[in-house]
Amino acid sequence: MPKRIGLIVGVGSIGRRHAVVMAERYEHLIVVDTQSTALEWCHQHLQTEVRSFDNVETLIPEITSHTSDITAVIAAWGPHQFPILLALGDAGVRNIFCEKPVAVSLGQVVAIREMIRSKGISLTTGLHFRYRNIAETIRTFADKYLGGPPSMCVVAGGARCVATNGIHWLDLASCTFGCEPISVTASLQRHEINPRTPSVGFWQGIGVWEYPEERVLSVNYSNYSSVDDLVTWFCPRGTIRVTPSLEIVMEVRDSNEVEKDPRMTRVGVTRPLSPTSAANIVQGSVLAQQLDDIEGRKATPFAEISPLSTVEALLLAFESSHRQRTLSLPVSNDVLQTSNEWEIS
């Protein structure tokens, strides 16, 4: 069996972190970036054989004879990811990891789904929370200590961007609830404060995704605050917080109070609770696990929740804000045909 070849498109700040992991995994690594300084960095710092190109167009003819041996990582700027994904798929690459958002319009999501179906592509995305044992821990702790599964997750914070960071909580909510959302209502505002480039919006506002059985995710970000995420899951008898460092913090209601009057309308304060077993949250890079996923070496976590469904639900929030009404999932043909491309990353 031929040894696999690594290919990474885009070696900026995130791409360089991915490239280091790939250099440890593949004996041969192809890097693509328009910036000569980025390519020079790869040749100087990656401990493997590196071949470099300054654009995808010149790359394609050089790999067409052995695309079946390639595992590709796309870490390019958000609006550029879709055409790169199509080009690699058309060239014959069948194992692809693409950083989020993957697509910037609902039409692109449809095209990617069709490419996956027709070409047999194994695709995963940069939605890394599903690989960190967070959803499993929330489910376990909620059932064991807090009276049952969560019914609501509230995410609030400062200038974190509903697209850039909100998408991670959206994917985690779907994995934790065990299903995809059924509707979204949003009110979002674009500000030109993106630290990487002002041409791509940094979006504040609120998005509310409804799930079956009246479960809810609410993401609220303000570009007028520099406070990190505050993330709380509400369960029947307590809460679970996920801190910015991915620690799990629980609080529970007094059991005597609950026993005296178990009605939900008789609310009460919570107190800290330490679990009897530690939360085994995976820290650091999970790219190796994600590459194992698309190369068929390990089972995909939460395979029933497609990462593309998370991308679609995020994009539908922007459509909801634009149309000023609640929109349902699956996406209707009317919404799809009149959808927009969004400046997100």
Q: What is the pLDDT of residues 59-117, one digit of tens each?
A: 999 999 999 999 999 999 899 999 999 999 999 999 999 999 999 999 999 999 999 99
Closest listed residue to residue 97, CA positions, set 20, 167, 7: 7
Q: Which tokens is 134 given?
A: 């967070």
Measured N-to-C along each axis, helices 78-91 and 106-119 cross at an angle, to the nearest 10 degrees, of: 20
Q: Which residue pairs from 42-48 have beta carbons closer than 8 angstroms and sit at least 24 positions apart in sequence?
A: 42/11, 45/20, 46/19, 46/20, 47/23, 48/22, 48/23, 48/24
| Amino acid 297: pLDDT | 87
Q: Which tokens is 234 given?
A: 């509400």
Q: Within 10 Å of residue 122's Cβ, how many Cβ atoms?
A: 15
The residues that bridge with 124 in the sheet, in sequence order, are 97
Average pLDDT over residues 240-249: 96
Q: What percent of the chain has pLDDT over 70?
A: 99
Non-local CB neighbours of 8 within 8 Å, separated by 6+ positions: 15, 18, 19, 22, 29, 30, 31, 32, 72, 73, 74, 75
Q: Which tokens is 216 given?
A: 């809810």
Contact 299, 290 (CB under 8 A): no
Handedness of CA 261, 265, 269, 273 (dihedral sign): positive
Q: What is the pLDDT of residues 265-297, one digit of tens each?
A: 999 999 999 987 778 999 999 999 999 999 998
Give me the torsion for CA of 11, 285, 27, 123, rounded to 10°: -80
Local structure of residue 14 (DSSP, 8 states) = H
| Amino acid 1: pLDDT | 40
Local structure of residue 130 (DSSP, 8 states) = G
SS3 content of the chain, % helix, strand, coil (to 5): 35, 25, 40
Domains identified in the chain and CATH numbers = 5-99 (3.40.50.720), 132-273 (3.30.360.10)
Cα angle 127, 10, 97 (rounded to 5 degrees) comes to: 35
Instruction: Assess whether pLDDT exceeds 70 at residue 4.
Output: yes
Instruction: Assess whether pLDDT exceeds 80 at residue 336.
Output: yes
| Amino acid 2: pLDDT | 55
| Amino acid 195: pLDDT | 87
Q: What is the pLDDT of residues 177-229, one digit of tens each?
A: 999 999 999 999 999 999 888 889 999 999 999 999 999 999 999 999 999 99
Q: What is the pLDDT of residues 139-191, one digit of tens each?
A: 999 999 999 999 999 999 999 999 999 999 999 999 999 999 999 999 999 99
